[in-house]
Chains A and B, each alone.
Chain A
Amino acid sequence: ETGVTQTPRHLVMGMTNKKSLKCEQHLGHNAMYWYKQSAKKPLELMFVYSLEERVENNSVPSRFSPECPNSSHLFLHLHTLQPEDSALYLCASSQEIRLAGVDEQFFGPGTRLTVL
């Protein structure tokens, strides 16, 4: 595997389910990110991890819970989601987060989530 991989690619879940999205980067990067991409809206940065520590949480509802067990893996745990949470969830990684700004990011193909 190369680059950034995400599993599953598609997920359909009910509002009472608990599921997890997985992201793995094979680039030796130190920073990882979760984004939400909804139709007709800009990408929304959800979480930022640098060296396995969360450094940014952009007011994301608690029904989304990230986990970064090591610098190569990132999870997004989902529980009691709402239909409006249906979107494409993208994972990205970068070499580092510079003090003056983020570095270029490498994206996975995303997980298409549908909440019924």
Chain B
Amino acid sequence: AQSVTQPDIHITVSEGASLELRCNYSYGATPYLFWYVQSPGQGLQLLLKYFSGDTLVQGIKGFEAEFKRSQSSFNLRKPSVHWSDAAEYFCAVGAGNDMRFGAGTRLTVKP
């Protein structure tokens, strides 16, 4: 069965600084890969997804992610973080009828 690991439980960055959130997955083939964001009291919102093709994926709100098959990784990046980006971020892997989420990374943004 597939699994997803987000090694960082909590990350703090200063506003305007760059951001990278890590995600590693375990699956026999290339699954569908997703990044979702959840603000307090809200459901999850899709930031971006990778199904196939170009390994650098652009998403909403200025986020991008790069799929690296050799490292089984799908890290999320943003060049300049805004205070409104403070939230919880989830990496997810989809295959068959199943969807597995990582435990999430909570992002705090310092002024």
Please give the residue numbers on chain A whose beta carbons come within 8 Å of chain B beta carbons, in ascending order: 4, 33, 40-43, 45, 48, 50, 55-56, 58, 90, 92, 97, 99-110
Contact = CB atoms under 8 A, between A and B. Distances in A.
A102 B98 contact: yes
Interface stretch (B17-25, B39-47, B61-69, B71-79): B39-47
25 contacts: A40-B103, A42-B102, A42-B104, A43-B90, A45-B99, A48-B97, A56-B97, A58-B98, A92-B44, A100-B32, A100-B96, A101-B31, A101-B51, A102-B96, A102-B98, A102-B99, A104-B46, A104-B49, A105-B44, A105-B46, A106-B46, A107-B36, A109-B41, A109-B42, A110-B42
B105 to A, nearest CB: 12
Contacts of B94: 101-103
Interface residues of B, number: 25
A35 to B, nearest CB: 8
A90 B49 contact: no
A97 B104 contact: no
A50 B98 CA distance: 12
Given A42-B104, A102-B95, 19 more contacts: A4-B43, A42-B100, A42-B101, A45-B99, A55-B97, A90-B44, A92-B44, A100-B32, A100-B96, A101-B51, A101-B94, A101-B96, A102-B32, A104-B46, A105-B46, A107-B36, A109-B41, A110-B42, A110-B43
